[in-house]
Amino acid sequence: MTNIVLNVIVLAVLVVVSWRVLRRLRPGPLVWAAAVMCVLTLVFDTLMIAADLYVFDPDKILGVRLWGAPLEDFAYALAAALGMPVLWTALGARDRDRVADDRAAPDRHSDGRTDEDTR
């Protein structure tokens, strides 16, 4: 399996799994984050490849390079630009739900005991 096939599968699974959260997010910041991540990938991948920190098996990549960085490496930047806001939103919603539950039951402590248990 080539890297591009694996990248497409991972990105597709990421989008499918996170679609409920993604569709509620504003597209502008997501596109901006993806663009910034791709520029950083372009610069630093090129530098790391030029310094021989890592090499790619030519049989596993398409051979298309953007300023020295293989096209396949940009999938990681896209996954981060999509995945991190989704996690932030999902975990933030979970935290808001917990705070709302705590406010709804003010006599319950964080360890599950009630005020009657502490007396």
**For residues 4 and 62, is the Cβ–Cβ distance under 8 A?**
yes
Q: Identify the DSSP state of 51.
A: T
| Residue spans per domain, the chain | 3-102
pLDDT at 66: 83
pLDDT at 40: 94
pTM of structure:
0.68
7 backbone φψ class: left, alpha, beta (φ>0; ψ -120 to 50): alpha
- Tens of pLDDT along the chain (119 residues) come to 788 888 899 999 988 988 988 888 888 888 999 999 999 999 999 999 889 898 888 887 887 888 888 888 899 999 999 888 888 888 886 666 565 555 655 565 556 666 555 55
Sign, CA torsion 34/56/70/60: negative
